[in-house]
Amino acid sequence: MISRARAFRLLQWSTVAAAIVLFVTEARTVSSARPLVLAFFIALAAVAFRLRVKYASNFLGLEAAALVPAILILQSPGATMLVCVSADLIAKTLRRHRRLSLPSAFDVAQLSISYGLAAIFFRAVRSPAQAPVGLAAAAAGVLLVFFFINTLLVFAYLELGRLVPRERLLEMGLFQLVALLLLSPIVALEILAYPVYGIPGLLLAFFPVVLASLVVRNMSSVERKYQRVARENRELDALREISNAFALGGRADRYARTLEGVRRIVPAEAMAFVQWMDSPGEEQLDIHLAGDVVATSDSIAQWVRRNRLDEAPPGSMVERVEIRRGDERSIVLSPRMSFQAVLHLVTPEMNTGLLVLESTLPLLHEASSVASLAVLADQIALVLQDQAIRAQLQDLSERNRERAETLDQILQVSNELKSHLTLDTLFQSIVNAVARSLGFNEVLLSLYEADRHVFVRRAQFGLDRGWSEIQGQAVPAAEIMRHWTDQNRVSRSYHLRHRTGDAGALEQLLPAAALRGQPDSWLPYEILWIPLQSGERLVGCLTVSDPKSGLSPKRDSIRALEIFANQAVTAIEIARSYTDAREQSVRDGLTGVYNHRHFQEALQKELGRAERQSRPLTVLMLDIDDFKSVNDRYGHPVGDAILQRIVAEIRSEIRADMDLLARYGGEEFAVILPETPPGQAAEVAERIRRRIDERLFRPPESDEILRVTVSIGLATYPSDAADKTRLIERADSALYRAKRGGKNAVAGSGELPGEVPPVTH
């Protein structure tokens, strides 16, 4: 019985061969096509291929808008196939890093077969005296023939290659059918326009395809951003699921739940979970299988020992995720699978195990999947490290109950840190945890800024008295790190125990440090630093003082602090990623101000607050005058630079702590001025208008001086409007009145008493 892989490759080669045979059979019809018309359709089809865009995980093919008219006008299957192949190859060569491969050859072949057979169908049904309207109707039949043939070939290709989940095939087919139905009116218009207006008319009818491609590209860009945020949310859900699976001891279904957590972010169908302790000579391997696995635990154990995978030292620079395919796999969980990912579960403290995943889908090897798996590997390694530490706690409890309780508190605190997603609350949670669970009365958390080589104080416990003065203060890193010497090193921390000649400088490192130390224990000016590091990168440091016990911490206590510090760094990195993703979703990529969606949400909230407090709120709508002529004359880079400069000028005239500036669209901006009546708002708007009017712009590589002006319209709640939609409409109407009044002006709402009249300059 032929295997799926061989059937897949056979389909590829047979499709290419069939396309060649069909073209050779119809090659005689190419001569009937006029060379210039043939060349025109090749160029038009190449443009259509380049307009292809991916949306909702489906490619929107627009080449039918060029190839169907070619079928009806050239009336030659051979010429149609020549147009299809030539245009597709031209489009592919224009893309970066494209090379001819068997999959790309199949793509060209299945399209040429589909359009070639559609052309043969048209030749069979057309009549010599067919009117243009009849040709337009025939175009719909040609589209349907192409759709059924192309769908059949593509579905067979995707199903045999298991390139997408089976349930997505119907979705893809419906997407392509809807796309062709939407193209049908354009194709009909091209067929009707060509006999009367020739090639110019056909090009004009083709133009909506270009617009549709641009619109879908913008939609696709927004969709990708949402998908990235959604993927990060799925990663957090998966990490939470796996953490919960291991948090409860003795759960028999923890590995099935682990596989379910992994499946939330990647299409894993088989899993082997291998766990060991960090001792290099450990003979016992804990192996758990889940999903569609054929391999046995013994074969996996032999593979681990043969390759000495359990001997990788803690903190080694091992590749977190290794991807392998087909025969490249050194261990095969299931012969039915072709794609494998091996996750090395290693932390700086211990080598905890391996996670082997396999799938029939190539989605497992996509860059986004590999990145998610790397995060997953780090989290599972930390979870296993937590589990290992729990086991150590149980073993040590008989000899040192107090020490075991301390380490258990570390684990509880680290689990709490995983739930914090905002940086400020996370920083405060970290210092609170060190003070509460690890026994220090004074704790300071500082973040390291490499560009300035300083430590910035961000959170504290026990330093309330002077915190308002030193919060956010930057301390030169050299002042701290000069004490990080081998003499003061304990484990990976630095413990300064004795007073030195620069005691005053030490007091500045930890303001309000305890001076009441006992002579036989913790000494005055004694300080312990725990660096916060992510790999080789310094993130910050914890500075602790005044232990509750009154005794200088021993090495075991310092190691406990270091284990907690590693958990804290992981939480900080996750929180930073979450904060960055959330900030990017509400910011305009060019200017850095808020985007249209965030403006709408913020305005609704501010209106609610204004209503509750019975205070006015004004909205400014600002538009750059004649901005299109600037782009047309100097180019979009100059236009972009002007947009950024305009934003800087607006920001200089509004309140940073209250007002909100957003890019409303294109060259239009919006400003929310809370607690601002019309008169004050008009003054702000006039200052903005005058400031921009007085600025001169010099385009790069030009001696010209460019003057840019803006028109501003404003409307105030509640005097002009009582709801968001009406308020924006009134401000927008005022903006257009300023435009009609000569531009470079400020105008208020024109229908209510007390309006701000247009001031034109």
Task: Enumerate the β-bridge partners of residue 129.
Answer: none
Closest CA to 145 of 105, 109, 180, 190: 180
Architecture, CATH, for domain 397-581: 2-Layer Sandwich (3.30)
Which pLDDT does position 372 carry in this prediction? Answer: 81
pLDDT confidence band for 523 (50 / 70 / 90): confident
pLDDT confidence band for 687 (50 / 70 / 90): very high
**Half-sphere exposure (Cβ direction) of 576: Cα atoms closer than 13 Å:** 10
Q: Is the peptide bond before 718 cis (omega within 30 degrees of 0)?
A: yes
Higher pLDDT, 126 or 272: 272
CA–CA gap between residue 449 and residue 441 (Å, rounded): 26
Higher pLDDT, 700 or 496: 496
Does residue 472 carry a pLDDT above 50? Answer: yes
Query: Which pLDDT tens digit goes with each residue over 436-456?
Result: 767 788 888 888 988 889 998
Kindly report the number of other CB atoms within 10 A of residue 705's CB atom. Answer: 9
Does residue 645 carry a pLDDT above 60? Answer: yes
CATH topology of domain 248-387: Beta-Lactamase (3.30.450)
Kindly report the number of other CB atoms within 10 A of residue 404's CB atom. Answer: 18
pLDDT confidence band for 394 (50 / 70 / 90): low
Structure tokens at 173: 């087919």
Looking at this protein, which amino acid is placed at residue 104?
S
Structure tokens at 751: 């229908």
Does residue 755 carry a pLDDT above 50? Answer: no
Helix (H) or strand (E) holding 533: strand 527-534
Burial class (CB in 10 A: 0-12, 13-18, 19+), 329: middle
* DSSP label of 523: P
* pTM above threshold 0.85: no
The answer to whether the beta carbons of residues 298 and 340 sit under 8 Å apart is: no
Mean pLDDT of 151-164: 73
Which pLDDT does position 735 carry in this prediction? Answer: 94
Q: In whole angstroms, how far apart are CA 660 and each of 433, 643, 723?
A: 36, 17, 18
Helices (H), 464-528: 464-470, 477-481, 503-509
Closest CA to 362 of 343, 342, 340, 345: 340
Burial class (CB in 10 A: 0-12, 13-18, 19+), 96: exposed
Do 397-581 and 596-760 show the same overall fold? Answer: no
Does residue 710 carry a pLDDT above 90? Answer: yes
Task: Enumerate the β-bridge partners of residue 533.
Answer: 538
Of 209-218, 261-270, 338-347, 632-641, where does mean pLDDT reach its minimum? 209-218
Which pLDDT does position 610 carry in this prediction? Answer: 92
Of 163-172, 217-226, 406-415, where does mean pLDDT reach its minimum? 406-415
Does residue 622 carry a pLDDT above 90? Answer: yes
Higher pLDDT, 515 or 303: 303
Angle (nearest 5°) at CA 434 between 423 and 317: 70
pLDDT confidence band for 758 (50 / 70 / 90): very low
Percent of the chain with pLDDT over 70: 81
Cα torsion angle, 324, 328, 334, 337, sign? positive
CA–CA gap between residue 68 and residue 72 (Å, rounded): 6
Which pLDDT does position 57 carry in this prediction? Answer: 61
Cα 344 to chain centroid distance, Å, stands at: 24
Three state DSSP letters for 5-41:
HHHHHHHHHHHHHHHHHHHHHHHHHHHHCCHHHHHHH
Closest CA to 44 of 194, 219, 192: 194
Task: Enumerate the β-bridge partners of residue 446.
Answer: 457, 541
CA–CA gap between residue 19 and residue 104 (Å, rounded): 13
The terminus-to-terminus CA distance of the chain in angstroms comes to 84
CATH 3.30.70.270 fits domain 596-760: yes
Dihedral, 150, 151, 154, 160 alpha carbons, nearest 10: -140
Does residue 219 carry a pLDDT above 80? Answer: no
Mean pLDDT of 353-370: 84
Burial class (CB in 10 A: 0-12, 13-18, 19+), 24: exposed
CA–CA gap between residue 239 and residue 615 (Å, rounded): 45
Mean pLDDT of 738-748: 92
Mean pLDDT of 133-148: 76
pLDDT confidence band for 397 (50 / 70 / 90): low
The answer to whether the beta carbons of residues 621 and 733 sit under 8 Å apart is: no
The answer to whether the beta carbons of residues 483 and 501 sit under 8 Å apart is: no
Mean pLDDT of 373-392: 77
Percent of the chain with pLDDT over 90: 14
Which pLDDT does position 409 carry in this prediction? Answer: 55
Instruction: Pick from 216-225, 306-315, 354-363, 423-432 the range whose average pLDDT is largest.
Output: 354-363
Mean pLDDT of 320-347: 86
Cα torsion angle, 603, 604, 610, 616, sign? positive
Residue 528, SS3 per DSSP? strand
- Those residues whose C-beta lies under 8 Å from the C-beta of residue 307, and which sit 6 or more positions away, are 330
Looking at this protein, which amino acid is placed at residue 334?
S
Mean pLDDT of 648-653: 91
Does residue 686 carry a pLDDT above 90? Answer: yes
Residue 133, SS3 per DSSP? helix
Pairing state of beta strands 710-717 and 617-624? antiparallel
Backbone angles phi and psi of 667, in degrees to 5: -100, 20
Which pLDDT does position 757 carry in this prediction? Answer: 47
Backbone angles phi and psi of 647, in degrees to 5: -60, -45
pLDDT confidence band for 503 (50 / 70 / 90): very low
Architecture, CATH, for domain 4-229: Orthogonal Bundle (1.10)
pLDDT confidence band for 605 (50 / 70 / 90): very high
Does residue 111 carry a pLDDT above 70? Answer: yes
Structure tokens at 571: 């939480």
Q: In whole angstroms, how far apart are CA 609 and each of 37, 583, 616, 717?
A: 65, 23, 10, 11
Residue in the structure block whose two tokens are 């290099």: 280
Does residue 392 carry a pLDDT above 70? Answer: no
* DSSP label of 750: S
Residue 247, SS3 per DSSP? helix
For the chain, give percent helix, strand, coil, nearest 5.
Answer: 55, 15, 25
pLDDT confidence band for 321 (50 / 70 / 90): confident
CA–CA gap between residue 496 and residue 358 (Å, rounded): 51
Which pLDDT does position 280 carry in this prediction? Answer: 42
pLDDT confidence band for 625 (50 / 70 / 90): very high
Of 452-461, 479-488, 511-520, where does mean pLDDT reach its minimum? 511-520
Rama region for 291: left / alpha / beta (φ>0; ψ in -120 to 50; rest): left
Which pLDDT does position 681 carry in this prediction? Answer: 94
Which pLDDT does position 750 carry in this prediction? Answer: 60
Helix (H) or strand (E) holding 412: helix 401-417
- Those residues whose C-beta lies under 8 Å from the C-beta of residue 682, and which sit 6 or more positions away, are 714, 746, 748, 756
pLDDT confidence band for 167 (50 / 70 / 90): low
Cα 375 to chain centroid distance, Å, stands at: 14
Domain definitions of the chain by residue range: 4-229, 248-387, 397-581, 596-760
Which pLDDT does position 407 carry in this prediction? Answer: 53
Does residue 421 carry a pLDDT above 80? Answer: no
Higher pLDDT, 389 or 505: 389
Kindly report the number of other CB atoms within 10 A of residue 297's CB atom. Answer: 15
Mean pLDDT of 589-599: 87
Structure tokens at 266: 């990647």
CA–CA gap between residue 647 and residue 671 (Å, rounded): 11
Cα 698 to chain centroid distance, Å, stands at: 36
CA–CA gap between residue 225 and residue 231 (Å, rounded): 10
Which pLDDT does position 279 carry in this prediction? Answer: 46
Query: Which pLDDT tens digit goes with each residue over 547-567?
Result: 887 888 877 778 878 887 787
CA–CA gap between residue 526 and residue 514 (Å, rounded): 9
* DSSP label of 471: T
pLDDT confidence band for 399 (50 / 70 / 90): very low
Does residue 597 carry a pLDDT above 80? Answer: yes
pLDDT confidence band for 578 (50 / 70 / 90): low
Which pLDDT does position 761 carry in this prediction? Answer: 43
The answer to whether the beta carbons of residues 72 and 142 sit under 8 Å apart is: yes
- Those residues whose C-beta lies under 8 Å from the C-beta of residue 413, and which sit 6 or more positions away, are 433, 437, 564, 567
Q: Where are the beta strands (DSSP E) in 222-332?
A: 270-275, 286-291, 321-325
